[in-house]
Structure 1
Amino acid sequence: MDNIYLYMLIALTILAVADIVVGVSNDAINFLNSAIGSKAISLRTIMIVASLGIFIGAVYSSGLMEVARKGIFVPAEFNFHEIMLIFMTVMITDILLLDFFNTLGLPTSTTVSIVFNLLGAAVVMALIKIGASETETLADLSSYINTKKAFEIISGILLSVVIAFTVGAIVQWVSRLIFTFHNTDKIKNIGAIFGGLALTAILYFIFMKGLKGTPYYNELKGYIEGNETYIIVIGFVLFTLFSFVYQNIIKKNVLMVVIAVGTFGLALAFAGNDLVNFIGVPMAAYHSYEAWSVSGIAATEFSMDVLGNKMPAEPFLLFIAGGIMVVTLWFSKKAKTVAETEIGLSRQSETHEKFKPNLLSRSIVKGTSLFTNALMVIIPKSAQEKVNASFEKPKSALLLTKDQSIDAPAFDMIRASVNLMVAGVLISIATTMKLPLSTTYVTFMVAMGTSLADRAWGSESAVYRVAGVLNVIGGWFFTAFAAFIGAGTVVFLINWHPAVMTPVLLLLTVILLVRNYLSHKNKSVSKSEDSLKNAESSSLQGVIHESTHNIANVVKRGNKIYSNAINGLARQDLAMLKKNKKQIEKLSLEVDNLRDNIFYFIKNLDESSVGASNFYINILGYLQDMTQSLEYISKASHKHVNNNHKKLKFNQIKELKEVDHSMENLLVEIKEAFDSRSFEQIGAILKSEKAIFKIVSEKIHKQVERTRTEESSPKNTTLYFGLLLETKDLLTATMNLLEEYHNAHDASVEPAKLSTEEEEE
């Protein structure tokens, strides 16, 4: 039995590595997003600066894992056997929970995750002990658990969300009012003062939050504590002079330095202070095993009051942990997914919104709009005009398409600097006041506050952005709830039979991690060749040729969707129909995105090619008609089978198969014509229109006859007529599209031929 604890310790070491990987993947947004979003410095430079901050912070971390050892539970109330079960539980549930959030691309708090995992596991283990005792009752639970710490964490969540958002919004609003979006001259004049202020705030943050808890802080403590005011004043003067020299002699924007130093500071603080979230539990387990193994006392009898004492740091382990964190930062694709969420929510221009609006987001936006309108009545128009002038965006930014905005900076260096400065100051203040605070909550909510103040959440995007913020905040509370319940369940199972359940749960953890990795990998694959693309050409002929790609792909995917709907209906294959329904929903969304891009398409057209807009709008209209018909066919088939209605009769299925065969031949011909650019074939296909319509009309006539004589199922009749009528609509839309394309292509080619002939003459 004794060997099981050694195996647990080995497993905890492996789990610690996995926890660092999933933890860094989620927390990387805390220090990367401002630099990545502003694109002030190259990605390579950002990664190098962040890597240095992480490695230095990790290596010089104190390793005093107070939270993991005694912050949540009272170690003296548990024996070694129980403590090892708690630690094993915490690592398993923490990894799975963080990986779940990484796969979704949502930022969460690794601090809250580890704290509530410890709390859940400790509470259930305490309840098991109380249940086995004849003298203890539920009232004795407080002797096992540090309830005060849990309440501090919860209050810290609420406090940090509100304060960070509010302060971020106010500071950004004032900064934008001063610098505006046209800030080249303003930065030259007063940029040195802003740079000095920002660098001073970030430096103070590095000392107060990043270095506090490191071995070197004790040596610096005498110089820092009590002299904070002098440090701030001297730092401001020196950094202002540095900013002035950097801008006027080196001739570069000092905000680049602010962003680089701020990124380093946040990375340093993250590694130095949040490392406990990843290796605190395994290190506590190692010290527990070390103390028990030399005691000679049975595992179930050895009290863990030793964990109440301070433990020495393990420099070699911290060095390894720092290295793993840096490697993860460079290679984790999930870190990029999580980063994209915050950057997308704070992007200044229009983008592909990740979140769908909900009732609460609509209500918040509507209420805010009403409040703003009421406020505008009070504020003088002259003041409004002056403020609006400061927030007037460059015209070039207004012409960016959603795809182009992804490649452009999400926001400018002013906002990036404010994000880093405000986050650093708030975390520093919370540290000095000994308030529990999550770096994730602060950095995320500051970014959201600055986005709101910068008018990034306009009427076109507000409901989507607010919905996204609500989703993330909801995820934070879900983290606490899921961690508590998950850890409690797992520790109960392990305690039931440690020798059996421990390897089973470890195997399950590996399976889930691999499954999530593969799922995320599939989602992260760049747009496939079948994806629809926005037209970017500014001429009619260019738009015509660009549209061939979209038409061919809609026809190809539509052919598969139509066939799968008929085959799934014939086989009563609910899984196929469900998958097919998702495919058409995806295709419909892509066509809708193309229509959303029409504004930017028309804006970027040459004056001599305005006619291209009519062609492009008509083509998109016909594509949408096609997807709507396919969507009805797919959803009606799925609904019929899902509701367990009567299966279609043999003759009905046979006739639908004949229609499907005719449709397949037609759509394959169309795709080949567009793929090979053999536009002469389009005319021949148009001539076959009547023959295909005739086939569908015959099937409708036969069903009418059956309904009058032998049909007994109203549901079958409704479905059959619906499928055939939508097939006719699908054919109509397809033929209209071909005719539009054929006419436009001929019209664009004719002038080209004439000009060529004139040149030859």
Structure 2
Amino acid sequence: METIYLGIIIFLFVLAVFDLMVGVSNDAVNFLNSAIGAKAASFKTIMIISAIGIFIGASLSNGMMDIARHGIYQPEHFYFEEIMCILLAVMLTDVVLLDVFNSMGMPTSTTVSMVFELLGGTFALALIKVYGDSSLELGDLINTDKALSVIMAIFVSVAIAFFFGMLVQYIARVIFSFNYQNKMKYSIGLFGGIAATAIIYFMLIKGLKDSSFMTKENLAWVKDHTAQLVLTCFVFFTVLMQILHWLKINVFKIVVLLGTFALALAFAGNDLVNFIGVPLAGYSSFIDYTTNGAGYAPDSFLMTSLLGPASTPWYFLVGAGAIMVYALFTSKKAHAVVKTSVDLSRQDEGEETFGSTPIARTLVRISLNMSNSLSRIIPEGTKNWIDSRFRKDEAIIADGGAFDLVRASVNLVLAGLLIAVGTSLKLPLSTTYVTFMVAMGSSLADRAWGRDSAVFRITGVLSVIGGWFLTAGAAFTICFFVALIIHFGGTVAIVLLIGLAAFTLIRSQVLFKKKNLKGKENETFKEIMRSTDSNQALNLMRVLTREELNKVLLYAEENFDRTVNSFINENLRGLRKAMGASKFEKQLLKQMKRTGTLAMCRLDNNTVLEKGLYYYQGNDFASELVYSIHRLCEPCLEHIDNNFNPLDVTQKNEFSEVSAKITALISSCREKLNNNAYEDFETDLATANALNAQLAHLKREELKRIQTQTGSIKVSMVYLTMIQEAQNVVTYTINLMKVNRKFQMDFEI
């Protein structure tokens, strides 16, 4: 029996390794997004500073894992077997759940996931125990106060962080303006002093409060002398930062990198429990059972020992720190999560990751009405002065950066300060919630959410916030059922669940790699937006256009063929799939037009006048092509869904022949577009003319059949629609190729 539980302990530590890696991938956004978004240093430098902070924070942590030992369940009422069931369920759920969020590029809270997984697993076992023992109540088995405090922290930290992020950034921007280098002659020393003091305070109160050298005496001394420490640091750093500024050293960069180090250190030192607390609780339980459980069965030995605190051996901490550093440098998913936060807070417009929702549109509309009302009250002179501080054309943003160093400094300093204050007040604030919402509030105050992007940014923020609540619900529910399966299924269930978790993780990696390959296609657009040379931008736009139109023609080729064949063969599932693809493609077209218009801004006036018309015409023909296939699919789907009469044999044969030729024409055009080779394009033109003539003949033949009433009217109506839209597909494909050829060539044809 001990061998089985030893195997479970080993597996818990294996899962802990994966949990450390996916946890770092998720929480990397907390300390990386500001430094990376502002390009405060090279990516390698930022990663090294973060890695040092993580390793020091993990190694100095004293390993107090109380929340995993007795924070949610009351261990004196649970047997060893039940505790192991709960802990295994928590780890299986946590690894998979965090990996899913990482794959989506959505930051979430590792604290919330662990707390609610423990709550879900404990609730499952508690129900069984209460049912079997009438003397027990749920309140005796579950510590609900901790879960309720986390739920309250979600509401409180989101609102407070967003409000103060907006307020402090607005004040900072009014003081420094976007052209901050000309506005910081003496104010920079004061700002640097406040920022550095706040960061040091944050490291002492939050980052190192549970460190191995921070004894009760040292912690009491820091608490008693907080005012003196803060004042001394403020004076020292104010003088130091002013001197550094006179020495032509960018103080904002120092603040950003110092803040990045502090947040990384605090993350590793305090959130380590979220990753290794559960396996260590299992290890402690196993040691207690093997040492003191002689003569007891696993289902009769109570785990009272978990009520006491436990110190983690240093080698576990160092090992955890090393794994976290490795994950930080190698995880592509960490970069994806950081990208979500940076994209939502970037200063300029660009490709928006999220779409539009009714809630976001309503919020934007309400905000605009409030802004217009407020604008009528404020004196004109005051408005003009405030606007002069927010001139985006004066913004000093590093090449490839999403925002400037002023905002990055505010993000890090304010996030650290809010977390430190929350900790001193014993409020369970989440570092993920605070850092993300501060970044969103500061970007709103910086007028980064313009009218053309606000609805997309708000949708993104609401999606991330919704994901936080979804984390809690999913963690509780999944762990609840996993614990039940393990409890009743025993060893067989454990083996099956381990296999399912492994399959899920492997599948997630495969899907993420595919998603990554698709994401690389956006690199061309990013290069265009970074380009300052019109000729270079034009060449890149030609590449981008070929990439985008190739996808449109590929869609047209596949879905025209799928729609026609599914209708002929009465394949309802195929038609539904084609309709779904059509709706998705229309969304991509909107995004394509938006990014294309933004890219056009990088061209000079002469180039826009010469080539811009062809580009926009190509986009219009691409839209018409997609909408034609949508109009073709819609009546076909409705007809088959209603189980109406199918096409007769004559109609099937004549349209199958012409549809195969249309598919071949689209394929030929796509190949020419892909290779940017139009030498044999006249052949496609001749084929298109012949196909349109053949389709016109089919239309006349069908009208004759209607006159003689030899077939179903409903089928004839759909068939005529198919012929008309097939003609449109041929025409728009050729027109798209014509204008794209003119856009791609340096001479008129």
Could you say what secondary structure the match of 1:422 adopts? helix
**Residue in 2 aligned with 1:164?**
161
C-alpha separation between the residues in 2 aligned to 1:517 and 1:44?
A: 24
1:517 aligns with 2:517: no
1:294 aligns with 2:291: yes
Could you say what secondary structure the match of 1:119 adopts? helix
Cα drift, residue 528 of structure 1: 7.0
C-alpha separation between the residues in 2 aligned to 1:533 and 1:562?
A: 29
Could you say what secondary structure the match of 1:435 adopts? coil
Comparing 606-615 with 370-379, which one deviates more in the overlay? 606-615
Query: What is the aligned length?
Result: 739
Decide which of 243, 249, 262 is 1:245's aligned counterpart: 243
**Residue in 2 aligned with 1:481?**
473
**Residue in 2 aligned with 1:416?**
408
Comparing 405-414 with 482-491, which one deviates more in the overlay? 405-414
CA displacement 1:16-48 (0-9 Å, x = unmatched): 111111111111100110111111111000110
Distance 1:299 1:669, change over 3 A: closer
Could you say what secondary structure the match of 1:187 adopts? coil
Cα drift, residue 627 of structure 1: 2.1
1:476-555 mapped onto 2 (5 Å cutoff): 476-526=468-518, 538=534, 554-555=552-553
Residue type of the alignment partner of 1:202 = I
Cα drift, residue 229 of structure 1: 1.2
Cα drift, residue 365 of structure 1: 1.3
Distance 1:449 1:73, change over 3 A: same
1:122 aligns with 2:133: no
C-alpha separation between the residues in 2 aligned to 1:676 and 1:438?
A: 51
Distance 1:464 1:607, change over 3 A: closer
Mind listing any 5+ residue stretches in structure 2 that lack a counterpart?
A: none
Cα drift, residue 517 of structure 1: 1.4
1:211 aligns with 2:244: no
**Residue in 2 aligned with 1:100?**
100
Cα drift, residue 581 of structure 1: 4.6
C-alpha separation between the residues in 2 aligned to 1:472 and 1:102?
A: 12
Report if the CA contact (8 A) 2:582-2:630 is conserved: yes
C-alpha separation between the residues in 1 aligned to 2:288 and 2:319?
A: 23
1:150 aligns with 2:147: yes
TM norm structure 1 = 0.91
Cα drift, residue 293 of structure 1: 0.7
Comparing 142-151 with 110-119, which one deviates more in the overlay? 142-151
Comparing 308-317 with 35-44, which one deviates more in the overlay? 308-317
Decide which of 277, 289, 295 is 1:280's aligned counterpart: 277
C-alpha separation between the residues in 1 aligned to 2:657 and 2:284?
A: 73
Could you say what secondary structure the match of 1:497 adopts? helix
**Residue in 2 aligned with 1:567?**
565
CA displacement 1:639-668 (0-9 Å, x = unmatched): 555565554433333222211222134334
Cα drift, residue 527 of structure 1: 5.1
CA displacement 1:565-596 (0-9 Å, x = unmatched): 32333444555555545555555444433422
CA displacement 1:529-586 (0-9 Å, x = unmatched): 7999798884799699655665556445432332233233344455555554555555
**Residue in 1 aligned with 2:650?**
651
C-alpha separation between the residues in 1 aligned to 2:524 and 2:709?
A: 45
C-alpha separation between the residues in 2 aligned to 1:741 and 1:436?
A: 58
Comparing 636-645 with 553-562, which one deviates more in the overlay? 636-645
**Residue in 1 aligned with 2:44?**
44
**Residue in 1 aligned with 2:80?**
80
C-alpha separation between the residues in 2 aligned to 1:182 and 1:564?
A: 56
TM norm structure 2 = 0.92
Residue type of the alignment partner of 2:176 = F
CA displacement 1:51-106 (0-9 Å, x = unmatched): 01111111111111010011111110111111111111111111121112112111
**Residue in 2 aligned with 1:59?**
59
1:645-724 mapped onto 2 (5 Å cutoff): 646-674=645-673, 679-683=678-682, 685-709=684-708, 713=712, 715-724=714-723
Residue type of the alignment partner of 2:95 = I
1:351-390 mapped onto 2 (5 Å cutoff): 351-390=350-389
**Residue in 2 aligned with 1:457?**
449
1:442 aligns with 2:441: no
Report if the CA contact (8 A) 1:351-1:406 is conserved: no
C-alpha separation between the residues in 1 aligned to 2:47 and 2:667?
A: 48
C-alpha separation between the residues in 2 aligned to 1:114 and 1:544?
A: 47
Comparing 408-417 with 642-651, which one deviates more in the overlay? 642-651
Report if the CA contact (8 A) 1:58-1:318 is conserved: yes
Report if the CA contact (8 A) 2:285-2:303 is conserved: yes
C-alpha separation between the residues in 1 aligned to 2:67 and 2:636?
A: 55
Could you say what secondary structure the match of 1:73 adopts? coil
C-alpha separation between the residues in 2 aligned to 1:676 and 1:134?
A: 76
Decide which of 234, 247, 261 is 1:236's aligned counterpart: 234
Mind listing any 5+ residue stretches in structure 1 that lack a counterpart?
A: 398-404, 751-761
Pairwise CA RMSD: 2.8
Comparing 181-190 with 304-313, which one deviates more in the overlay? 181-190
**Residue in 1 aligned with 2:16?**
16
Cα drift, residue 430 of structure 1: 0.8
C-alpha separation between the residues in 2 aligned to 1:666 and 1:707?
A: 30
1:621 aligns with 2:624: no
**Residue in 2 aligned with 1:319?**
318
CA displacement 1:482-536 (0-9 Å, x = unmatched): 1111111111111112122111111111111111111111111155779997988
**Residue in 1 aligned with 2:181?**
184
Report if the CA contact (8 A) 2:600-2:612 is conserved: yes
**Residue in 1 aligned with 2:302?**
303
C-alpha separation between the residues in 2 aligned to 1:332 and 1:531?
A: 19
Report if the CA contact (8 A) 1:125-1:492 is conserved: yes
Comparing 207-216 with 646-655, which one deviates more in the overlay? 646-655
Residue type of the alignment partner of 2:90 = V
Distance 1:688 1:69, change over 3 A: closer
Distance 1:302 1:224, change over 3 A: same
C-alpha separation between the residues in 2 aligned to 1:472 and 1:305?
A: 39
Report if the CA contact (8 A) 1:73-1:144 is conserved: yes
Report if the CA contact (8 A) 1:711-1:717 is conserved: no
Residue type of the alignment partner of 1:514 = I
Distance 1:597 1:97, change over 3 A: closer
**Residue in 2 aligned with 1:27?**
27
Comparing 144-153 with 218-227, which one deviates more in the overlay? 218-227
Report if the CA contact (8 A) 2:398-2:404 is conserved: no
Report if the CA contact (8 A) 2:548-2:592 is conserved: no
Distance 1:665 1:489, change over 3 A: closer
Distance 1:601 1:152, change over 3 A: closer
Cα drift, residue 215 of structure 1: 1.3
Distance 1:509 1:737, change over 3 A: closer
Distance 1:714 1:503, change over 3 A: farther
C-alpha separation between the residues in 2 aligned to 1:396 and 1:579?
A: 47
Distance 1:269 1:625, change over 3 A: same
**Residue in 1 aligned with 2:463?**
471
CA displacement 1:184-219 (0-9 Å, x = unmatched): 112344222211111111111011100011111116
Report if the CA contact (8 A) 1:530-1:553 is conserved: no
Report if the CA contact (8 A) 1:533-1:594 is conserved: no
Residue type of the alignment partner of 1:227 = H
C-alpha separation between the residues in 1 aligned to 2:642 and 2:307?
A: 61
C-alpha separation between the residues in 1 aligned to 2:740 and 2:506?
A: 47
C-alpha separation between the residues in 2 aligned to 1:395 and 1:717?
A: 63
1:265 aligns with 2:262: yes
Report if the CA contact (8 A) 2:21-2:323 is conserved: yes
Report if the CA contact (8 A) 1:591-1:624 is conserved: yes
Report if the CA contact (8 A) 1:543-1:612 is conserved: no
Cα drift, residue 174 of structure 1: 0.1
C-alpha separation between the residues in 2 aligned to 1:554 and 1:411?
A: 33
Residue type of the alignment partner of 1:670 = C
C-alpha separation between the residues in 2 aligned to 1:121 and 1:336?
A: 31
C-alpha separation between the residues in 2 aligned to 1:518 and 1:574?
A: 30
Distance 1:674 1:97, change over 3 A: closer
Residue type of the alignment partner of 2:354 = F
